[in-house]
Amino acid sequence: MNIQCKSVHKYLFIFIVIVTMFSCQRAIQYTAINGVIDLSTYNIMEEKPIEISGEWLFCRDKFITFEDFNTHQYEMLRVTSSFSGEIAGTWYVKILLNESVKGLSLGITNKDINTAAIFYANGEELFKVGNPALDKKDSVPAFYYQTAEVKETENIIHLVIHFSNHELISGGISKSPIIGNIEKIRKNTLIKMIINMFLIGGIMVMIFYHLLIYTMRRKEYSSLVFSIIAFAVVIRTLSLETYLYRMFSNNYGLILKIEYITFFVILSATLYFVFFLYPLDFNIYFNRVILVINSVMIVCTIPFNLTAVSYLNRINQFLTLICIVYVFTGIGRAIYYKRPEIRMFSFGISLLVLATLNDILFYMKVIDTFQMAHYGMFLFILFQSGILSIRFSKAFVENEELNLNLEKIVEKRTAELNLAIDELQQINDKNKKDLTIAQSIQSKLIPTSFPQFKNIQFESFYLPMDELGGDLFDIYPINDDLVGCMILDVCGHGVAAALITTMAKIVFNNAVKVSTDPQEIMRVANSELYDSIHGSGDFLTAFFCVIDTKNMRLTYSNAGHCEMFLLRSDGRLHQLKTNGPIIGVMKDMTYGFGEIELLEKDRLILYTDGVIEAKNSKSELYDLKRLLSQMKMNRTLHGSDCIKTLISDIMIFNENMPFHDDIAIMVIDVMEVVK
């Protein structure tokens, strides 16, 4: 990783040095001062064309001739000054040449001008870009480069530029005009055009290549998005290099809007491209937000006027800076995790970002370079095309290796599978250990012995289906004469059910402290448990009763639980029946109430549905009838012996079939009534 980062830093350093050289090599040797530029030492035949930069005279809101500048005082401004809002006026500079220029072919060419201008040399019109005007209705904006020969060259040239901007939020002469040997100027223009056509041709080849890949592999969205980016770059390059403006000279507004739209498209498409390449390091939701914003901007660009569209472009420049930070953050993560081809990708995207930053700073007049974004984009496309090609090549190579070395791959996959199995076994062992601990904790929630209480004896049995169960019973001594008894069954099994039983134990314990009325206890328990489990799909049934040992009365309430029974000593059964909804489904519920007298040797039978729903091999249920028959038959046995006999009968009936629910039983015997 260190070697990879060092290589990227090295290439970035080289690129920055080149940009710095471009930004610093200009306008130092020859620059206008107080409206005069001295080129008397400039060798037109030997030296390359130069910019007429520096301080020019400027007359606002008038179109005048160079003679007028000799009769009045005017502003002294840098020729590349930017003006906010609508502006029109005249620029003037006096160019001093040496005597050797007489008879030579001297040319002047414009660069970036927003949005219309006419060039004059010694009072003669050289060329015009659009039609500048003091009034907006007479202005015709345009954007393209013109070169004209200065005829009858003397050693002094009075260069005047009438310019106006009534369309964009800021305008002016973004780049200084150029003067030099006209043949060299034309040669440079031709070379630049050849380079641009070469770049465009190369990009078009990449577009068709990756579209072909996408048609063969429809899941490779990166190829499709890459082609969209590349096509937008082609359109943008044709626009920035003025080719589209020349072909459609009467459609300045339309071409400028297309130029802005391509920038919006490139921004969103680039974010999706990096996401498809490294989905683990970039956020799809951020991409969607930017896509929505850019889509809105594109829709607004079409009907809006150029001034409003210029504001949209400013907004998008700010948005671009945010996206640059986002992209570099994702690249940092990808480098940290050593994603494939990240070195090539980070270098290509870094060139693009630096070129984009250069353009933003260039348009803001912070640096004096030239537009680099489309060149940076070409390099980015070149590098990303390489990444996609490498990935596709790897895919083909891997496919061949699979065909040639299938046995080795199977062995490798088997080893990996065994390793995964070992890891899963370790996880399973840990889970079992955790379940054992949880089971131990839950077992302590269920009482295994009960405190002595006058006239009353408690016996119980609990068998969970899994390590963790969803059944629970407990007793609650209230005072010397009253004791509460509770049994419940949580829907489901496992960890969730175990957690709910824990909550239920606490809730019922707190409810008993508030009231001794079973139906009020049920209401409070339902209200509190609803707040914790509603919406989860979980619920529970419960039966709660209070035994009054002084008055020998049993009061009870049922919340959707099984039918409970009181068995008299003579074998008669009394069903403890009340109406009440299950717990945890609705907030404010009321519960029924029942009361019955207790007699000596009565037996209260509490159980969960796991008892009567036990199945044998024929899928027959143990059912309530068999349970009550067993309880009647064993009514004379001690409570613990009665439960053992019942469990034994269930096991015989069950025929060693697995249980499908937890089993919980409580037997409460009235021993002797003290008068």
Q: Identify whether 405 is part of a domain.
A: no
Which of 152, 180, 208 lies at the terminal end of a domain, its last residue?
180
For 461-496, letters b (16+ CB in 10 Å) and e give bbbbbebbbbbbbbbbebeeebbbbbbbbbbbbbeb
Pairing of strands 156-165, 116-121: antiparallel
Q: Identify whether 401 is part of a domain.
A: no
At residue 22 the predicted structure's pLDDT band, cuts being 50, 70 and 90, is very low
Q: Identify whether 271 is part of a domain.
A: yes
Instruction: Give the per-residue pLDDT at 91.
Output: 95
Model confidence at 574: pLDDT above 50: yes
0.75 cut: is pTM over it?
A: no
Model confidence at 7: pLDDT above 50: no
Instruction: Give the per-residue pLDDT at 439.
Output: 64
Kindly state the tokens that stand for 60: 């606002």
Question: Residues 569-575: what's their mean pLDDT?
Answer: 90
Model confidence at 656: pLDDT above 60: yes
CATH code for the domain of 496: 3.60.40.10
Same domain, 210 and 303: yes
Same domain, 232 and 135: no
Instruction: Give the per-residue pLDDT at 8.
Output: 44
Domain that holds residue 664: 441-670
Same domain, 615 and 493: yes
Whether 658 contacts 639, CB under 8 Å:
no
Instruction: Give the per-residue pLDDT at 1.
Output: 40
Same domain, 219 and 291: yes
48-105: pLDDT as tens digits: 999 999 999 999 999 999 999 988 889 999 998 888 889 999 999 999 988 777 777 8
Which of 150, 180, 210 lies at the terminal end of a domain, its last residue?
180
At residue 564 the predicted structure's pLDDT band, cuts being 50, 70 and 90, is very high
Question: Residues 1-13: what's their mean pLDDT?
Answer: 45
Q: How far is residue 355's CA from residue 351's CA, in Å, rounded to a whole number?
A: 6
How would you class 6 by CB atoms within 10 Å of its CB: exposed for 0-12, middle for 13-18, buried for 19 or more?
exposed
Same domain, 138 and 269: no
Q: Identify whether 3 is part of a domain.
A: no
Pairing of strands 87-97, 113-114: unpaired
Pairing of strands 113-114, 178-181: unpaired
CATH code for the domain of 287: 1.20.1070
DSSP 8-state code for residue 153: -
Q: Identify whether 292 is part of a domain.
A: yes
N-terminal to C-terminal alpha carbon distance within the chain: 90
133 in helix, strand or coil? coil
Same domain, 268 and 368: yes
Q: Identify whether 413 is part of a domain.
A: no
Radius of gyration of the chain (CA): 45
At residue 117 the predicted structure's pLDDT band, cuts being 50, 70 and 90, is very high
376-404: pLDDT as tens digits: 777 777 776 777 677 667 766 666 666 77
Q: What are phi and psi for residue 131, nearest 5 degrees?
A: -140, 100
Question: Residues 28-33: what's their mean pLDDT?
Answer: 79
Kindly state the tokens that stand for 32: 């206008």
Same domain, 477 and 348: no
Same domain, 157 and 217: no
Q: Identify whether 349 is part of a domain.
A: yes
337 in helix, strand or coil? coil
For 545-548, the CB contacts below 8 A with 24+ separation are 545/484, 545/485, 545/518, 545/576, 545/604, 546/478, 546/482, 546/483, 546/484, 546/485, 546/516, 546/517, 546/518, 547/456, 547/482, 547/483, 547/484, 547/485, 547/598, 547/668, 548/481, 548/482
Whether 276 contacts 388, CB under 8 Å:
no
State whether the Cα torsion 244-248-250-255 is positive or negative: negative
Same domain, 68 and 204: no
| Total structural domains within the chain | 3
Q: What are phi and psi for residue 338, nearest 5 degrees?
A: 55, 55
Q: How many CB atoms lie within 10 A of CB 414?
A: 10
Question: Residues 210-236: what's their mean pLDDT?
Answer: 85
Cβ neighbors of 31 (< 8 A, separation 6 or more) are 37, 53, 54, 55
Same domain, 542 and 485: yes
Looking at per-residue pLDDT, the higher value among 26 and 506 belongs to 506
Question: Residues 185-194: what's their mean pLDDT?
Answer: 89
Percent over 70 (pLDDT), the chain: 88
Instruction: Find the largest Cα–Cα distance for the chain.
Output: 142
141 in helix, strand or coil? coil
Instruction: Give the per-residue pLDDT at 152.
Output: 64
423-459: pLDDT as tens digits: 888 777 776 776 666 666 666 677 878 888 878 999 9
Same domain, 144 and 250: no
Bin 153: left if φ > 0, else alpha if -120 < ψ < 50, else beta: beta
Instruction: Give the per-residue pLDDT at 4.
Output: 43
Segment holding 108, helix H or strand E: strand 106-109
Instruction: Give the per-residue pLDDT at 19.
Output: 46
Q: Identify whether 499 is part of a domain.
A: yes
Lowest average pLDDT, out of 2-6, 176-180, 484-488, 533-537, goes to 2-6
The type of residue at 478 is I
**Cα–chain center distance at 311:** 27
CATH code for the domain of 71: 2.60.120.260
Same domain, 124 and 215: no
Model confidence at 581: pLDDT above 70: yes
DSSP 8-state code for residue 136: G
Q: How many CB atoms lie within 10 A of CB 34?
A: 12
Pairing of strands 87-97, 36-39: parallel
Model confidence at 566: pLDDT above 90: yes
Which of 337, 369, 393 lies at the terminal end of a domain, its last residue?
393
